[in-house]
Structure 1
Amino acid sequence: MSDEFSRDAQVLRLRELIAKGAGPEDAWETAWKDGVTPWDRGHAQEDLVELVKSGSVEFPSNGRALVPGCGKGYDAAIIASHLRLQTVGMDISTTAVEEAKRNIHSSDTESLVSFQIADFFSLKAEPEDLFDLVYDYTFFCAIHPSMRVSWGKKMTEIAKPGALLITLVFPIDGEREGGPPYSVKPEFYRDVLGDKWVQIFEKETNDETFRGRKKVIVWRKV
């Protein structure tokens, strides 16, 4: 069975789970338990690794970072290790968070990373808990499009003035119906972030597998 066929089959199975699940927590937990995780490539996203190493963006030198929908925590570990930020990985799946904790255990960044079972949309915006950096890859495209306005509002609520938001915009494939993953375009992010955020960086992916379907865009909160 080819990797592409396997991913396609997993996407179809994932959509069945979302459609039949009693709620988001139930559906995503079942997906993780059953290994229906077509987005999980077993390592951090190359585009993120390249970005934090490249010097193309001036990242905060200290503070807190958030990775909603963190899965097994690969990207949270990269942010912590390369940017030395106190990084919170968050997922509504207990299985995903347990896997993330096992992955980070005994690493040289363990003291900088914590993982929580929590709902991003229920986060409280207390001043002492605001973030200097947020990273979103397969979170925006996983939520139903009707929730995107709430996504934009919550990003604004939980970020400090001057904070950065890294978005790996994927899958850019027109306005295909159905999901997850739901179709996205850069303007979908702009529309819901509004005038509270400005775009400061944009780059096409170097991943040949997703050439033309994925971009890295970084935003700064004004």
Structure 2
Amino acid sequence: MEIHTVTEGTTEFTCNAYLLDGPDPVLVDAGTMQGVEDVIAERVDDLSAVYLTHQHRDHVGELDAVLDRFDADLYAYDDHPRRTASLEDGQEVDLCGEAYEIVYTPGHADDHVAFVGEKRVFSGDVVVYNDGAFDDGSFGRTDLPGQSRERLIESLETLLDRLSDTVEALYAGHGDVYRADPEGERESVRDVIERALERAERREPKYPDE
């Protein structure tokens, strides 16, 4: 299976939308980049489903365009007019032949989930590797209405509890993909998430100048 960041290189504010190119290709989040459906079509002939980490606009802005182009199913934790089926905490889903556990991770968004597999995690915005606020382990903002630092801290703890030691890659909603080194020369994904948790626990503003 190949994974492509189909929103890469855009100048628009968007999340990272990931195309999993394998048996029954799927998309994790849709982003806001106009024409993203054309980029997907350059890679695959069909798209079986879109899976949402959460429904903030930067993750769903072009969702309708993608669903219209491919007539794909939609899986989301929270209700959506075009949702095919709901996602539940602890549920196992198959993404291109690989099993992922749904982990409910609110705080940045009430409907936030992460997809935790044996090799990789699609973390949405609950934890990212770098995002302009922190390098080597950051977390989703919690200063806007409906967000909660305390719930996000609990979510990071839950994510660590449910994380397999075999996970080698972190595919976050923003910033770079993080890949650990099997030889141990780079930190593990667990190390990155633990650093994000430590920073969140300080309760300091993530963006102090705002």
TM-score (structure 2 length as normaliser)? 0.36
Flag the structure with higher helix content: 1
TM-score (structure 1 length as normaliser)? 0.35
